[in-house]
Amino acid sequence: MAGVRLRNVTKIFDKNLEAVKNLNLDVKDREFVVLVGPSGCGKSTTLRMIAGLEEVTRGEIFIDNRLVNNVPPKDRDIAMVFQNYALYPHMTVYQNMAFGLKLRKYPKDEIKKRVKEAASILGIEDLMDRKPRALSGGQKQRVAVGRAIVRKPKVFLFDEPLSNLDAKLRVQMRTEISKLHLKLGATIIYVTHDQVEAMTMGDKIVVMKDGKIYQIDTPLNLYNKPANLFVAGFIGSPSMNFFNGVIEKNEDLFFIEGDLKFRIPDRFKTRLLKYKGRKVIMGIRPEDIEDVTEKDDNNNKAELEVVEPMGNEIYLYLKTNFNNFVARVNANRKYQEGQVLSLYFNMDKSHFFDKETNISIIN
Ligand code: ATP
């Protein structure tokens, strides 16, 4: 296995479309790194440049400390698993898995051994004689992964491999790929637009937008310490709530939006004092808003517009004269649309962003 390094990598397509902008990324040996971001953010293009399927316009890509910009895909010692599986329809599962090794002129016995090994890891031994059309989506996915495993590559590249599967199978395959990562001790770079997939699978997550990296961090840090407004809103479901207001100082330091008023916790005071009288964005996650009777002056009133029971919890969609927001509360109380609630905002868990730069003021 091996690490991958991207240095100032830029990709410009025709008509000056800059799909990837000056990207720097270090993927360590055996690390599972997920590139995540909305459609068109450049994550597939980045992966394809690592694979050698797309030329690098500027910058350098190293695999296992070797500069690979001019190395053809077949000599990069990587294996890629695509969204559409890309299986050969006229070949059996065995032949599909063996094909890459056959091309590379591996001895027959070695091919047999490797295919058998991979099939056993993936639990598809019984499918060896079937053609792809006789396989379910999940089975095709396993064969596509198997075809990558038999090559024993330095790096595995996955491009949205689960997006053609139904929700249940997606969750199951997600766990399987995570287990596979542990079993093979593999270096994996995985592209998805699904933040839940990213959060549950990656050791390290790269959040991208408009061809740029917005944050590289562990799943927990992305959630608890988003570096900017985009990451704060992108990671988490339902999304973080945002309020546009000002920092005011009278007897204490407050964030004010219309008639909503929140006391700023001591630990944020030094940094927010600099924003006195200025507009900032306050963010708070739905689970950090509680429906409890007055705890302190961080209770604010809002009208309940929609109630969404989720079984173990309830999503409350609320509105004030200035804003809409969501609270995620315990399912132990009955709610009525139109009701006015007094909600406690756990400001210790709040986030603040500079209104001009959208960068976090507190992280
Ligand atoms: P998705 O999740 O939709 O696949 P993505 O984040 O993977 O999106 P890319 O496929 O990397 O995004 O595309 C990044 C940008 O580059 C987009 O604006 C896309 O239209 C453009 N692009 C991608 N491939 C080409 C190409 N071959 N020629 C021209 N433009 C391209």
The per-residue pLDDT of the chain, averaged, comes to: 91
**Ligand 1 neighbour 360 (Cβ under 6 A):** no
Q: If you take atom 5 of ligand 1, which residue's CA is the nearest one?
A: 40
Least confident among 23-37, 186-200, 291-305: 291-305
pLDDT in tens, 295-309: 666 678 899 999 999
**Rounded distance, CA 67 to CA 22, Å?**
17
Identify the band that residue 166 occupies on the pLDDT scale cut at 50, 70 and 90: confident
Across 114-131, average pLDDT: 90
What is residue 255's predicted lDDT score, i.e. its pLDDT?
94
> Nearest-CA neighbor of 325 among 339, 343, 349?
343
| Residue 240 DSSP one-character state | P
What integer pLDDT is reported at residue 295 of this predicted model?
A: 61
Q: Give the Cα separation of 113 and 116 in Å (integer).
A: 5
- Tell me the CA–centroid distance for residue 83 and ligand 1, in Å: 14
Determine the distance separating the centroid of ligand 1 and the alpha carbon of 42, expressed in angstroms: 6
pLDDT at 1 over 70: no
What number is the average pLDDT over the span 151-163? 89
Query: What residues contact 111, with CB distance under 8 A and at least 6 apart?
Result: 98, 101, 102, 150
CA–centroid distance, 45 to ligand 1, in Å, is 6
Q: pLDDT band for position 54 (50/70/90)? A: very high
pLDDT above 80: residue 67: yes
User: Looking at residues 13-18, what average pLDDT do you find?
Assistant: 87
What pLDDT is attached to residue 332?
83
Who has greater pLDDT, 148 or 34?
34
Mean pLDDT of 53-79: 94
The pLDDT of residue 172 is above 90: no
The preferred substitution site among 15, 18, 41 for testing ligand 1, maximizing ligand atoms within 8 Å of CB, is: 41
pLDDT at 293: 67
pLDDT of residue 71: 94
159 lines ligand 1 (CB under 6 A): no
How far is residue 327's CA from residue 290's CA, in Å, rounded to a whole number? 7
Dump strand ranges (E) for the chain.
4-13, 17-27, 32-36, 58-63, 66-67, 78-81, 155-159, 187-192, 204-209, 212-217, 241-249, 253-257, 260-263, 279-284, 289-290, 299-309, 313-319, 324-330, 340-345, 351-354
State the pTM of this model.
Answer: 0.90
283 CB near ligand 1 (under 6 Å): no
Q: What is the pLDDT of residues 81-93, one digit of tens each?
A: 888 778 899 999 9
C-alpha of residue 211 to centroid of ligand 1, in Å: 9
Best probe residue, ligand 1, of 14, 17, 23, 190 (max atoms within 8 Å of C-beta)? 17
Q: How confident is the model at residue 294 (pLDDT cuts 50, 70, 90)?
A: low
Model confidence at 354, in pLDDT bands (50, 70, 90)?
very high
Give pLDDT tens digits for 201-252.
999 999 999 999 999 999 999 999 999 999 999 999 999 999 999 999 988 8
Q: What is the pLDDT of residue 298?
A: 67
Check pLDDT > 90 for residue 162.
no
Mean pLDDT of 110-130: 90
Per-residue model confidence (pLDDT) at position 258: 87
